[in-house]
Amino acid sequence: MIKVSRFGQPERPNLVLIHGFMGAKEDWLACMPILSLHFHCICIDLPGHGESTLSLPTPGFDALVSAIMTTLQHLNCHQFHLLGYSLGGRVALHIAKQHPQSLLSLTLESAHPGLSDIKAKAARLHADQQWADKLQHLPLKQFLSLWYQQAVFSDLTAEQTLALIEQRSQNQPDALLNCYLATSLGHQQDCRNAVAAIAPHCHIIVGEQDAKFLALAQQWQQQQPINVLVIKQAGHNIHSHHHHAFCQQLLAVISPEPIG
């Protein structure tokens, strides 16, 4: 079962928001006072996260897309703007690939479009299995301490890292493990071409300090008609640590009405 939280008037255009790995629908709360003035915001808990208890097969992207679309249909949400962060962005790309007619726009935050090389996919599956082993066998806080030492999180202060470890330690390791293995980048389709069906309404927001994902976005832009938006002095998780700049940039490209 996919759980959601909703903010804003249902008569406004729908904006579906998908969090990243180990996050929850509450991760978007800092953005809601701004975004809910313009949109009917539907924040989703991915399987194994927050209140969503759904278990996924491996690979699990097709089952996950189906579960999300079924949930949205039950909410009478048939067309929507779609926003996804990191893992949530990779899920959003699969939704765009399978249901382009449902999207009013697609905005990705710090998200990978997918691997095209078979050897790269195999290498990623191997690396993700090593992380999965740590998640399965280490105390969760010890796993989290290792996780946030990755280069992609290097912009975080020590205080921010400790706060994230405390927050993410509320998760259930077995549930996280299921989702992590099911949605490995090694199982993800190469979604670079998925944006073609919704151009020019595809945007990717990246942090100036997030060298890996900034390079990925710029390379992708050379291949497909996507709009790359760079937030200064930001790293990987922009909506949490620079929520005002993030919301203003988002509204500038997808808002249905003037802002000011």
pLDDT at 52: 96
Tell me, what's the pLDDT at 256?
A: 66
Q: Name the residue among 202, 24, 230, 208 with its Cα closest to residue 113.
A: 202
Fill in the amino acid letter for 88: G
Whether the Cβ atoms of residue 91 and residue 183 lie closer than 8 Å to each other:
yes
Largest interatomic CA distance in the chain = 51
**What phi and psi values does residue 216 have, to the nearest 5 degrees?**
-60, -45
State residue 255's pLDDT score. Answer: 76
pLDDT tens-digit map of 33-66: 999 999 999 999 999 999 999 999 999 999 999 9
Q: 140 is written with which tokens?
A: 């969760």
Distance between CA atoms of 246 and 230, rounded to whole angstroms?
10
C-alpha 2/C-alpha 159 separation (Å) is 32
Q: Is 44 exposed, middle or buried, given 0-12, 13-18 or 19+ CB atoms closer than 10 A?
A: buried
What does the buried/exposed string (b/e) look like for 193-222 if buried means 16 or more CB atoms within 10 Å of the residue's CB?
ebbeebeebbbbbbbeebeebbebbeebee
User: In tens digits, what is the pLDDT along the chain, a chain of 260 residues?
Assistant: 799 999 999 999 999 999 999 999 999 999 999 999 999 999 999 999 999 999 999 999 999 999 999 999 999 999 999 999 999 999 999 999 999 999 999 999 999 999 999 999 999 999 999 999 999 999 999 999 999 999 999 999 999 999 999 999 999 999 999 999 999 999 999 999 999 888 789 999 999 999 999 999 999 999 999 999 999 999 999 999 999 999 999 999 997 664 44
The answer to whether the predicted template modeling score (pTM) of the entire model surpasses 0.85 is yes
Architecture of domain 4-254: 3-Layer(aba) Sandwich (3.40)
Q: What is the pLDDT of residues 220-239, one digit of tens each?
A: 999 999 999 999 999 999 99
CA–CA separation, 12 and 29 (whole Å): 18
**Where do we find the tokens 């790359």?**
228
For residue 170, the tally of other CB atoms under 10 A from its CB is 10
Paired tokens of 205:
């927001």
Alpha-carbon Rg for the chain in angstroms: 17
Burial class, 151, CB count within 10 angstroms (exposed 0-12 / middle 13-18 / buried 19+)? exposed
Name 68's Cβ contacts closer than 8 Å, sequence gap at least 6: 2, 16, 18, 44, 91, 95
